[in-house]
Structure 1
């Protein structure tokens, strides 16, 4: 006979896992373009569906995909990027979820962008490839403060600047690393750009968002600045996927 305590514990564990799954699948943020809308069941929507299908197929093997479908004035351009430490299977799931969710949140907008922890998806009715996106941007930070913010902020900038240079010099435009804060503590970081950018523009994009550290995450144990073209993460604990 199953004890009531065991049954209740299983229910709690199941509920906790369900919450974790739902949280993991929740978007970090999204923006819908306010400039133009398209007509339901029209040529732009047809091209957009084809584009999203292509990105779902192209992105997982390499972690990045981009392309366009159609001809002016119904042509649509898009890209998808998965975080550099994410496995192909998780990348596929994230891009698929992003494609479904962005349609719900921006159903008739000709341009939209959505971010998850594991990926981003973006499309527009104009060619934006190779251009740094400084308009679509948001901050996230750990609510806990560090004990010595001046020194910590310097170390954070030092690590992220090193990773920005490293990322801009690699084909995947991605880098991750760590920096010792003391004998027992480390700082962990990640930098990444969308691969439509040149090496120089990747560094320019990352350098720009690193300069926003004082506004974003001054003295915080962890933080992110996430844009439509690049992003960084830093934390005082390991966060990369194995």
Structure 2
């Protein structure tokens, strides 16, 4: 995977999409890997992938993260699931169930695939990707509304997300949230998170690289996200993290 040319997808997050995502009705985005090839029905790889899916469904909810591999080369399946750090175990379980089911419908015979929901990420491949920063599978979302002073806002947003990154990569959950006062009437709310197969230093690198894409993603936007297969950030001018 790391040797392939990165492919980046761009999405506009309109209010309808955000509404659907909050309800958990639709995924934010998905990616079916063409480079990994396909498997056939009733093949050893499909059997291993089915076992892996069941394993991650049980493994992920208690801690919010699950990682595992099933089988032997060349039919070994590797996968992980990550729930957002503020999501309850029951909502995490529901999201992983939805994600693992939906991705098999969207990418029925692909050996590799990734799907993102607002509350979770589900990812599997036929090669070992654990501990490697995934920048191939990346997409952007942003609020359609713009701020008045984009230069100042962009600077404060970058500083704020960098501060959250410095907190997140030093925690076991590789996750941090916070808020920052922009002015007397407006606050900035943020979240950063990495998949827990990454080292602390790679988590920081992944998030730093994502924050570096702010000008391309969210220049002067009231809210935005850069989401990859290894890390993501989100910021808004309204609270969105569960208490």
Instruction: Name the counterpart of 1:32.
Output: 32
The alignment partner of 2:69 has SS state of strand
Distance of 2:115 and 2:195 partners within structure 1: 14
Say if 1:25 and 1:116, in contact at 8 Å, map to a contact too: no
Residue aligning to 1:8 = none
SS at match of 2:227: strand
TM-score, structure 1 as length reference: 0.91
How far off its partner does 1:184 sit?
Answer: 2.0
Number of paired residues?
A: 224
Hey, what does 2:13 align to over in structure 1? Answer: none
The Cα offsets for residues 181-223 of structure 1, whole Å up to 9 and x where unpaired, read as: 0122100000000000000000000000000000000000000
User: Which residue pairs with 1:95 in the alignment?
Assistant: 96
- Give 1 or 2 for the bigger CA radius of gyration: 1
- Spell out, residue by residue over 1:22-78, the C-alpha distance to the aligned partner (whole angstroms, 9 max, x if none): 953200000001021001111100000000000000000000000000000100000
Counterparts in 2 of 1:111-150, with a 5 A limit? 111-150=112-151
Partner SS for 2:171: coil
Cα contact 2:210–2:232 (8 A) shared by 1? yes
Moved segments of 4+, more than 3 Å: 19-23
The question of whether the paired residues in 2 share the 8 Å contact of 1:102 and 1:114 is answered with: yes
> Any conservation in 1 of the 2:194–2:203 contact (CA below 8 Å)?
yes
2-side partners of 1:20 and 1:210: how far apart? 25
**Which residue number in structure 2 is paired with residue 7 of structure 1?**
none
Cα deviation, residue 21, structure 1: 8.5
TM-score normalised to structure 2 length: 0.90
Corresponding residue for 2:14? none
Corresponding residue for residue 165 of structure 2: 164
Whole-angstrom distance in 2 between the partners of 1:159 and 1:87: 26
> How far apart are residue 241 of structure 1 and its match?
1.1
Change (3 A) 1:181 1:23: same
Tell me how far apart the structure 2 counterparts of residues 136 and 103 of structure 1 sit (CA, whole Å): 17
Residue pair 1:192, 1:230 contacting (<8 A) in 2 also:
yes
Shift of 1:20: 5.6
Q: Report the 3-state secondary structure (helix = DSSP H, G, I; strand = E; otherwise coil) of the residue aligned with 2:172.
A: coil
Take 1:38 and 1:236, find their aligned partners in 2: how far apart are those partners?
A: 45
Choose between structure 1 and 2 for higher RCO, CA contacts under 8 A separated by at least 6 residues.
2
CA offsets 1:148-182 (integer angstroms, 9 cap, x no match): 00000011001100001110000000000011001
2:68–2:80 contact (8 Å) kept in structure 1: yes
CA–CA distance in 1 between the matches of 2:151 and 2:24? 33
